[in-house]
Amino acid sequence: MSSDAATPAATSAPVPRQKSTGLHKGDIRPGVEKVDPIVIADGVTRTFGGLTAVDVDHLEIPRNAITALIGPNGAGKTTLFNLLTGFDKPDKGSWTFEGRSLSGIPAFKVSQRGQVRTFQLTKSLGLLTVLENMKLGAKHQRGESFWAGLFPFLWRKQEEEFEAKALELLARFKLDTKKDDFAASLSGGQRKLLEMARALMSDPTLVMLDEPMAGVNPALTQSLLEHILDLKDQGMTVLFVEHDMHMVRHIADWVVVMAEGKVVAEGPPDSVMKDPAVIDAYLGAHQDVDLGVVTGRIAGEVPSEAAEALAADIEQEQAADAAAFENRKAGE
């Protein structure tokens, strides 16, 4: 982390912000109740043949906070995303979004209610231009009904508003120079960015990002982290899947750990990452913290020195963040 702060950040120094705390009620354990949950899932299971991909007893996602969903490959994170957004049907279970049941609601209605997702395998619309991709994301478009569509004077003004908004977002995501290119001509990372920007066109309440930073270069990751933090400032809730522990530690207010379909741990990032079960099941005992790469996994007991090293590292990082935060406060 320390190296990160020194290198590409010279241009846009990442300013650590205060994490949201006090999100939960009572003791921290998997499935703990939240003070103000936006999503509550109960007994959601999904099996593929004999394989139980998701088996979540109880899960609450705190409102206006950034929640990270982590876990090993095949833990069921994407499947859970699919279930919550109506792209897949569970075997059983129910869940609510902002107090209203979402079980059995088709995907497009879920999105209309303000719960918008991105995909792990990016879905850019190749033969639409970048700007068209963006404008497609906007909600309540008059011109999207057939009869109104035939008469441009009915929707032209709204279209201009969407265009202005799209250009603003594209500039933020450094895609403004590409606006007239086909999305198919973008690089993999640029498509991730486009997908995320497109999701934001609808002013969602809950943004669900499936590995948003996979394949995005470090400098841009830095500025995107800022954008995600901004989303929180604007009152949105973010739920994201990410393997980059850096990013998780840096921006998440809450971390949910899944393994083999179950929620095995949750809590604020610093404490979750010290949890031996998490280190064992996911992070790996010899995790190279700075690269966020899991380099190995040792069966059985977690060697205590590895865990301690990790814990020390985390503390150091936290101290640095806190200091920077204080500095910024002092500067204001």
Ligand X SMILES: Nc1ncnc2c1ncn2[C@@H]1O[C@H](COP(=O)(O)OP(=O)(O)OP(=O)(O)O)[C@@H](O)[C@H]1O
Residues forming contacts to ligand X in the complex (CB under 6 A) are 48, 51, 53, 71, 73-79, 120
> Token pair 């989303």 is at which residue?
231
Identify which of residues 81 and 162 has a Cβ nearer to ligand X in the complex. 81
Instruction: Show Cβ contacts of residue 206 under 8 Å, excluding neighbours closer than 6 positions.
Output: 38, 39, 61, 97, 114, 115, 116, 236, 237, 238, 239
Q: Which does 85 bind (CB under 5 to 8 A by kind): Mg ion, another protein, ligand X, none?
A: another protein
How do strand 237-241 and strand 100-101 relate by DSSP bridges?
Answer: unpaired
Identify which of residues 69 and 169 has a Cβ nearer to ligand X in the complex. 69
230 binds another protein (CB under 8 A): no
125 binds another protein (CB under 8 A): yes
3-class secondary structure, 204: coil
User: How far apart are the C-alpha atoms of 326 and 332, rounded to whole Å?
Assistant: 10
Q: Tell me the helix, strand and coil percentages in the chain, rounded to 5.
A: 40, 20, 40
> Which residue from 78, 124, 133, 222 is in contact with Mg ion, where contact means CB under 5 A?
78
> Which residue from 74, 126, 235, 296 is in contact with another protein, where contact means CB under 8 A?
126
String of DSSP letters for 29-72: -TT--BSSEEEEEEEEEEEETTEEEEEEEEEEEETTSEEEEE-S
CB of 323 to another protein, least distance (A): 40
CB of 209 to ligand X, least distance (A): 13
Piece in contact with another protein (CB under 8 A), picked from 12-20, 55-63, 179-187, 225-233 = 179-187
Piece in contact with another protein (CB under 8 A), picked from 23-31, 123-131, 249-257, 321-329 = 123-131
82 binds Mg ion (CB under 5 A): no
CB of 175 to another protein, least distance (A): 17
3-class secondary structure, 129: strand
CB of 116 to Mg ion, least distance (A): 17
CA dist 165 → 34, 180, 187, 215, 227 (Å): 34, 16, 23, 26, 15
118 binds another protein (CB under 8 A): yes
User: How far apart are the C-alpha atoms of 206 and 66, rounded to whole Å?
Assistant: 10
User: How far apart are the C-alpha atoms of 169 and 188, rounded to whole Å?
Assistant: 19
CB of 183 to another protein, least distance (A): 8
CB of 186 to ligand X, least distance (A): 22
> Which residue from 40, 68, 102, 116 is in contact with another protein, where contact means CB under 8 A?
116
Residue 164 phi/psi, 5-degree rounding, is: -60, -45
Q: Which does 12 bind (CB under 5 to 8 A by kind): ligand X, another protein, Mg ion, none?
A: none
Identify which of residues 78 and 124 has a Cβ nearer to Mg ion in the complex. 78
Identify which of residues 281 and 310 has a Cβ nearer to Mg ion in the complex. 281
Q: How far apart are the first and last CA of the chain?
A: 25
User: How far apart are the C-alpha atoms of 178 and 185, rounded to whole Å?
Assistant: 9
Check if the beta carbon of residue 168 is closer than 8 Å to that of residue 184.
no
CB of 328 to ligand X, least distance (A): 34
3-class secondary structure, 206: strand
CB of 83 to ligand X, least distance (A): 10
Residues numbered 88-147 forming contacts with Mg ion, rule: CB under 5 A: 120
Binding site for another protein (CB under 8 A): 85, 87, 106-109, 111-112, 116-119, 123-128, 132-133, 135-137, 139, 141-146, 148-150, 152, 155, 159, 182, 184-185, 195, 198-199, 201-202
